[in-house]
């Protein structure tokens, strides 16, 4: 996982063409909330330049509790 303190790597990860990567989505409901998780994974481009990196992934999590939505991108 890329931490916010890793500015260069975070910028490179954001430059990946995520819109062209097919997603896999799952939704779970229970205890008054609904959680939808979408993950996109692809082989790491050479320009990512991190040793021993085989894949990069983007996780989007949307949680709705009592009509209030919280979205996180990891």
Say yes or no to pLDDT of 62 above 90.
yes
Q: How many CB atoms neighbour CB 56 within 10 A?
A: 20
Cβ atoms of 16 and 56 closer than 8 Å:
yes
* Residue 1 pLDDT: 61
For residue range 20-56, list pLDDT tens digits in order: 999 999 999 988 899 999 999 988 777 776 666 788 8
Q: Structure pTM?
A: 0.70
């Amino acid at each position: 996982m890329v931490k916010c303190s890793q500015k260069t790597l975070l910028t490179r990860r954001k430059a990946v063409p995520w819109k062209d990567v097919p997603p896999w989505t799952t939704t779970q409901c229970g205890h008054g909330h609904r959680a939808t998780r979408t993950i996109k994974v692809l082989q790491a481009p050479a320009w990512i330049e991190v040793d021993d990196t085989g894949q990069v992934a983007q996780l989007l999590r949307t949680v709705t509790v009592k009509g209030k939505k919280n979205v996180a991108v990891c």
